[in-house]
Amino acid sequence: MVEIKYVKWGLANNFGDTIELNKHLPKYPNLHYRILQHELHHDFKKKTTWKDLKHDIKSFATYDKERLIFFTTHPSAWVQLFPIWYSKERGIIIDDACLIMWAVILLVDIIITILAVKWWF
Ligand SMILES: [Zn+2]
């Protein structure tokens, strides 16, 4: 059985045995449902799997107006965008999927910058 806990930070995380959701989510029933469905579709393993990664990238790339509103009205959810963060209960948390997404964004940024500089000068 998986335990569902409401916490102050982030949007939602699946830790294998526990799903942590932002405590403000129940105020947005539709979004709450979608987020919970997303978390339930993760592999319930300690390590991030390829399936997890694909699942997160798909969600990340999907436009969700309600999620955007939630992020702008609840800055505590921004923690979700950090690849590495700290919680008193769990210590240092590394979000592999988030880390990979930032690495890809950074890489694309560097490539665009190099190409722009080459063509400009
Ligand atoms: Zn996810």
Q: Where are the domains of the chain?
A: 3-120
> 101 C-alpha vs ligand 1 centroid, how far in Å?
12
Amino acid at 68: L
Query: What pTM does this model have?
Result: 0.84
Spell 43-71 as b/e; 16+ CB within 10 A means b: eeeeebeeebeebbeeeeeeeeeebeebb
> 75 C-alpha vs ligand 1 centroid, how far in Å?
19
Residue with tokens 């799997």: 49
Consecutive H or E run containing 101? helix 96-120
Per DSSP bridges, beta strands 12-14 and 3-7 are: unpaired
> 52 C-alpha vs ligand 1 centroid, how far in Å?
7
Spell out the per-residue pLDDT of the chain, length 121, in tens: 889 999 998 999 999 889 999 999 999 999 999 999 999 999 888 788 889 989 998 998 899 999 999 999 999 999 999 999 988 888 999 998 899 989 999 999 999 999 999 998 7
